[in-house]
Amino acid sequence: MKIGIDSIAFATSGYFLSLETLAKYRNVDFAKYCAGIGQMKMSIFPPNEDVVTVAVEAARKAISGIEDKNNVDMLIFATESSFDLSKSAGIYVHHFLKLKENCRVFDLKQACYSATAALRLAKSYVRENPDSKVLVIGSDVVKYSPRTSGEPTQGGAAVAFVVAKDPRILEIEPWAGIHTTDIMDFWRPSHLEEALFDGKLSAQNYLKSMHISVARYLEKSNIAISDVNHVCFHAPFCKMAQKANSQLFRLKSIGETLIYNSVIGNSCSASLYICFVSLLDHIKDDLTGKRIGFFSYGSGSVAEFFSGIVTKNYRQMLDTQNNQKMLTDRVEISFQEYESLGNRENLDFHSYKNVGEVAMFGINNHQRMYKVRKTY
Ligand code: COA
C-alpha cells in the first residue's frame, strides 16, 4: 500500500523583524546574518498568536484539501514550545477544526524532530487502518534571550499535513536511518520561555548525526546517494542546512528548499516540512517520480534520514501563490516594537492582527482563551 503526504500547508505570524534592523541595533555586520547564518527576516509572534493559533490556520488549509474530514481519526501535534505540560495543544486544534469526537489527539515532543516521529506513527497507523487519515501538525515558536548569539535565529511557524493511503503529494519509502545520542546541545527547562543552547556543539552533532543516519539509510535501502534527487534538511538557520548539503551532496543546490525558512526563521518541528513545501513551490523541474531525502534533527538528540517519492499530479495540491502572499503580507515591526513584544508583561491581545481565524484574547486562571475572529 502506498502511504504518505496527501496534502500540506503552513502558517506563520503576521509580523516579522528584518535582520538588517536587528544587526543595526546590535551593532553587528548584517553580512554575518545574511551570508554567515543565511537568514533575512524572522517571524515575530504578538500576544494574540501562539503555537495553537498558527497550527489551526495551517491545519485548516491542509484539511481543506481532503474530501471528508470525518476520515481524520488521529491528530498528532508535534511541538517543543507548548505552554501546558499536561493538556495537549492538539485538543484546541481539534475543537476549532470541528473534527469528530471519535479521534485520538495527543502531543509529541523531541525538540525539532517530533513531527518526523509523528509522520512515522501516522504511516504505521494508516497501514493498519487504510481508510483513516492522520493529521500531523508541527508547530513551534522559538525564542532566545536578547543579545545572545541565538537571537537572530528565532522565528516560528506551523506546518500541517495529512497522512493517507494513495497520497497525492509524496509516497514515504520504508527505509530510515536513525541516530540517537544523549547530548546537551539545546534545552529548555519548563520554567523558561527562552531556550538555552550550545550552538557550536549543536552544529557539530547535527553534522555527525547526519552522516551516521544517511549511512544507515543507504545500508538498509541499498540505494546510492546519487539516486536521491533532492534533499530537505532541518534548518534551525539556513546556513546549517547549506553546510550539511555541502558535506552530503556537494554540487546540488538546495536553494529552493530554503526560500521560506530564510524569512521565517527557526520553526523547529515545522522547519523540515516547510523546506519541502518551499521546494515544491519554487523548483522549476517537474518532480514527478523524484526521490526526496529528508534529514530530521532534534537536539538532545534524535536524527533520522528517510525518503519519499513525489507522486504524479502533485502540482494540483500546491498553493504557491497564497503561501508567497502570506509571507509578503506580513507587517514589518520596528526594533522598539520587537523589544516590547519580547517583554513577557506585554499582554496586549487586541492591537495585533491574526493570520487565521482563531486568536488568543486573554489568560484567565492560567487558562489560555481563544476565540474565532475574522481575519483582517
Ligand atoms: N560576514 C559574513 N560572514 C560572517 C561575518 C561577516 N561579517 N561575521 C561572521 N560571519 C560568519 C562566520 O564566519 C560563521 O560562519 P561559519 O559558521 O561558516 O564559520 C557564521 O557567520 C556565524 O558566525 P559565528 O561567529 O559562528 O556566530 P555566533 O557565535 O554568533 O553563532 C549561531 C551563530 C547560528 C551558531 C547561533 O546563532 C546559534 O547557535 N543559534 C542557535 C541554533 C541552534 O542551536 N539551534 C538548535 C539546533 S537544531
SS3 percent helix, strand, coil of the chain, rounded to 5, is 35, 30, 35
Is 112 part of the annotated catalytic residue set?
Answer: yes
The minimum-distance atom of ligand 1 relative to the CA of 240 is 34
Given the residues 34, 112, 268, 275, the one annotated as active site: 112
* pLDDT at residue 236 in the model: 98
Model confidence, pTM: 0.97
Q: Is residue 280 domain-shared with residue 356, that is, in the same domain?
A: no
Task: Please work out whether the CB of residue 197 comes within 6 Å of at least one atom of ligand 1.
Answer: yes
Q: Per-residue pLDDT for 200 more than 50?
A: yes
Ligand 1 centroid to residue 37 C-alpha, Å: 5
Q: Is residue 293 domain-shared with residue 328, that is, in the same domain?
A: no
Task: Please work out whether the CB of residue 295 comes within 6 Å of at least one atom of ligand 1.
Answer: no
For ligand 1, pick from 20, 24, 29, 32 the residue to mutate: most ligand atoms within 8 Å of CB. Answer: 32
* pLDDT at residue 249 in the model: 83
**What is the CATH classification number for the domain harbouring 244?**
3.40.47.10
Is 34 part of the annotated catalytic residue set?
Answer: no
Range of the domain at 68: 3-169+315-372
- Overall average pLDDT of the 177-199 stretch: 95
- Overall average pLDDT of the 71-92 stretch: 97
Q: Is residue 13 domain-shared with residue 128, that is, in the same domain?
A: yes
- Overall average pLDDT of the 202-230 stretch: 97
What b/e readout covers 325-356, taking b as 16+ CB neighbours within 10 angstroms?
ebbeebeebeeebbeebbeeeeeebeebbbbb
Number of structural domains the chain divides into? 2
For ligand 1, pick from 153, 234, 266, 302 the residue to mutate: most ligand atoms within 8 Å of CB. Answer: 153
For ligand 1, pick from 22, 33, 81, 149 the residue to mutate: most ligand atoms within 8 Å of CB. Answer: 149
Q: Which carries the bigger pLDDT value, residue 175 or residue 374?
A: 175
Q: Is residue 206 domain-shared with residue 236, that is, in the same domain?
A: yes
Is 268 part of the annotated catalytic residue set?
Answer: no
Q: Per-residue pLDDT for 375 more than 60?
A: no
Q: What is the pLDDT of residues 97-126, one digit of tens each?
A: 999 999 999 999 999 999 999 999 999 999
Q: Which of 314, 333, 351 is the last residue of a domain?
A: 314
Ligand 1 centroid to residue 39 C-alpha, Å: 11
- Overall average pLDDT of the 196-216 stretch: 97
- Overall average pLDDT of the 226-248 stretch: 97
The DSSP result for 340-371, as a single string, is HHH-TT----SSS--SSSEEEEEEETTEEEEE
The DSSP result for 274-326, as a single string, is HHHHHHHHH--S--TT-EEEEEEEETTTEEEEEEEEEPTTGGGG--HHHHHHH
* pLDDT at residue 153 in the model: 98
Q: Is residue 195 domain-shared with residue 218, that is, in the same domain?
A: yes
The minimum-distance atom of ligand 1 relative to the CA of 28 is 7
Given the residues 34, 49, 57, 80, the one annotated as active site: 80
Q: Is residue 307 domain-shared with residue 328, that is, in the same domain?
A: no
Task: Please work out whether the CB of residue 29 comes within 6 Å of at least one atom of ligand 1.
Answer: yes
* pLDDT at residue 373 in the model: 79
Q: Is residue 136 domain-shared with residue 176, that is, in the same domain?
A: no
| SS3 call for 159 | strand
Average pLDDT across the chain, whole number: 96
Q: Which of 296, 314, 332 is the last residue of a domain?
A: 314
* pLDDT at residue 376 in the model: 40
* pLDDT at residue 63 in the model: 96
* pLDDT at residue 226 in the model: 94
Q: What is the pLDDT of residues 304-355, one digit of tens each?
A: 999 999 999 999 999 999 999 999 999 999 999 999 998 878 788 989 999 9
Task: Please work out whether the CB of residue 255 comes within 6 Å of at least one atom of ligand 1.
Answer: no
Q: Is residue 230 domain-shared with residue 325, that is, in the same domain?
A: no
Q: Is residue 39 domain-shared with residue 162, that is, in the same domain?
A: yes
Q: Which of 298, 314, 330 is the last residue of a domain?
A: 314
The minimum-distance atom of ligand 1 relative to the CA of 268 is 48
Q: Is residue 109 domain-shared with residue 190, that is, in the same domain?
A: no
Q: What is the pLDDT of residues 10-57, one digit of tens each?
A: 999 999 999 999 999 999 999 999 999 999 999 999 999 999 999 999
Q: What percent of the chain has pLDDT over 70?
A: 99
Residue closest by Cα to atom 28 of ligand 1? 149
- Using CA atoms, how far residue 59 sits from 52, 107, 160, 245, 360, in Å, is 10, 15, 5, 30, 17
Q: Is residue 12 domain-shared with residue 58, that is, in the same domain?
A: yes
Ligand 1 centroid to residue 86 C-alpha, Å: 35
* pLDDT at residue 318 in the model: 98
Q: Is residue 106 domain-shared with residue 43, that is, in the same domain?
A: yes
